[in-house]
Structure 1
Amino acid sequence: MAEELSNEDLWMVAENYIRSIGLARHHIDSFNEFIDKDMQKIVDEVRNIEVTAEDKIVRIELGKVTVGMPRIVEPSGAVRNIYPMEARIRNFTYAAPIYLEVKELKDGRELRQEVSIGEMPIMVNSRYCALAGLDPAVRVKLGEDPYDPGGYFIVNGSERVIVGVEDLAPNRIILEEKKIGPYSFYIARVFSTTVGYRTRVEVRLKGQNNELKVYLPGVGQEVPFIIMLKALGMASDREIAERVSPFPEVQELLAPSFDAAQNVLSKEDAIMYIGNRVAYGQSDKVRLNKTQNVLDKILLPHVGLDESSRYAKALFLCEMAERVLAMKLGWRPPDDK
């Protein structure tokens, strides 16, 4: 049987970790990944833009995004590279230009160019820092500290660090029970997060009538659970009940939710029901477009961002509903946040 680690053993592990990895490595790795991968993902989410100018449609296609070396622009207009120490002394921001490849399609002609779209503050000792890969002796000659762990930014000459904060895990269903007066409220919540999108989606069961409803931003009122599933493509009540749970005890609790949606018989009816809540009083076309945006972009964006992902979103909502109903039956405890 393995021996338990003593406090001295644990401190030895922590000391070796700090010596080999450092306290700032997680900051640096996170910044490198953002520049290497996440920036391009953000651009790819947009990709194509259409602009109407002088009664003509100009199509712009966004391509590769890159980050240059840290630099400054002198009062004379000269542009040159900069190191962190000079940025501190001269109260500059240690930043590098962001370049974006743009392809313009106008009148059948294609114009491709790389344009500067802004400046990105550079984390000291990251892969994009001017000190990356330099030997300690070279850093000393440049006036830099060879033992500086990095992991921070320099903004107007001042060192700034991003402080980590505790947050609920993204894309994970969290169960919560609330007591309001004599009633209990059961909630399944998920912070749906993907590149460029973050929304809070909840499936709620209220104690007064035991009806399931879906809450999401951008909709003025809660949407009945069954109506939301029909808008996402689940056609029959039997299919919905079986997708939520195979257990009859859980399916029986769905009865009030089915009763609330008995007048909504088709997918089209469900979509227009939601449209009346996101764009009340507007034309059918506007209501349809806004409902499609809610279903594709606001509702569970981590599952997908187009119409082909709607059924998968319906399945995810069924999983949330099953957990809510199981919590009401006492089969599942609320999560300890």
Structure 2
Amino acid sequence: MEKLSRIHVKSFDFMLRDGLKRMIKYLPPSEFSSPNGDVCELRVEFLELSNPIASDRNTPIYPHECRRQGKSYCAPLRLNIRLSINGTPASVLDVPCGEIPIMVLSRSCNLSKLNRKDFPRHSEEEREIGGYFIVNGKERVLRLIIMARRNFPLAVSRLSFKKRGHGYTEQAIVIRCVREDEAVSVRCLIIFCGEILLAFL
């Protein structure tokens, strides 16, 4: 069973370790003009996701407490946002941005730093497999979606393509075009006269 959940945990850990940093890298700054004509720019420079803590006592919280109290197992998220005025850095704002659900046994989960023999001390099973979230006290699993291979053309035949209109065939070529932080699916629909119609999804 642990092998099944490992894929989910590794995927979530990748998001924590690399995915959020890549998101910031490609996030465009927000620009606006002040009433006196200055051009202001806000750029996210840094993101910090802590481990789950009990807000009332500022101590680590464990999954069983959230199950028992009907709470979500979350960690606080903070952003460092740089404010520039007319191209000159003015200040850095430390902005709390709410909480993000934490996957049980991921690197941000408080259980991940413990030896399995210590799990029962925190009312957890030694054989805990993780790979799920706790939302309002309930265990929730996100189904892992299997995606088409990155940047690889795939020929498909679907009747739904033919139903798009007069002259369409059921054949198409689908390409999932991927960059580090985003993806778009491109379909080349084949028409009876031999032409190809490009569709972005």
State the TM-score, normalizing by the size of structure 2: 0.82
For the structure 1 residues 183 and 80, does the alpha-carbon distance in structure 2 shift closer, same or farther, using more than 3 Å as the test? closer
In structure 2, the residue matched to 1:88 is 67
Bigger shift: residues 24-33 or 135-144? 135-144
**Which amino acid counterpart does residue 67 of structure 2 have in structure 1?**
R
Structure with larger RCO (C-alpha < 8 A, sep 6+): 2
Are 2:48 and 2:77, in contact at CA under 8 Å, matched by a contact in 1? yes
CA distance in structure 1 between the aligned counterparts of 2:115 and 2:199, rounded to whole angstroms:
55
In structure 1, the residue matched to 2:54 is 72
The structure with the largest helix share of the pair is: 1
Are 1:174 and 1:190, in contact at CA under 8 Å, matched by a contact in 2? yes
The structure with the largest strand share of the pair is: 2
Aligned length: 194
In structure 2, the residue matched to 1:126 is 106
Q: Give 1:186 deviation, angstroms.
A: 4.0
1:210 aligns with 2:161: no
Describe the superposition over 1:189-220 as per-residue Cα deviations: whole angstroms up to 9, x where unpaired.
2122335533221223311x322332225xxx
For the structure 1 residues 215 and 89, does the alpha-carbon distance in structure 2 shift closer, same or farther, using more than 3 Å as the test? same
For the structure 1 residues 80 and 57, does the alpha-carbon distance in structure 2 shift closer, same or farther, using more than 3 Å as the test? farther
User: Identity over aligned residues, as a percent?
Assistant: 23
For the structure 1 residues 130 and 177, does the alpha-carbon distance in structure 2 shift closer, same or farther, using more than 3 Å as the test? closer
CA distance in structure 1 between the aligned counterparts of 2:200 and 2:122, rounded to whole angstroms:
53
* Structure showing greater Rg: 1
In structure 2, the residue matched to 1:273 is none
Q: 2:6 aligns with which of 7, 11, 25?
A: 25
Are 1:47 and 1:63, in contact at CA under 8 Å, matched by a contact in 2? no
- Listed as ranges, the gaps of 5+ residues in structure 2 are none
**Which amino acid counterpart does residue 65 of structure 1 have in structure 2?**
L
1:176 aligns with 2:176: no
1:58 aligns with 2:43: no
Q: Give 1:111 deviation, angstroms.
A: 0.7
Bigger shift: residues 137-146 or 26-35? 137-146
Q: Give 1:182 deviation, angstroms.
A: 8.8
Are 2:177 and 2:183, in contact at CA under 8 Å, matched by a contact in 1? yes
Q: Give 1:126 deviation, angstroms.
A: 1.0
**Which amino acid counterpart does residue 214 of structure 1 have in structure 2?**
L
Q: Give 1:152 deviation, angstroms.
A: 0.9
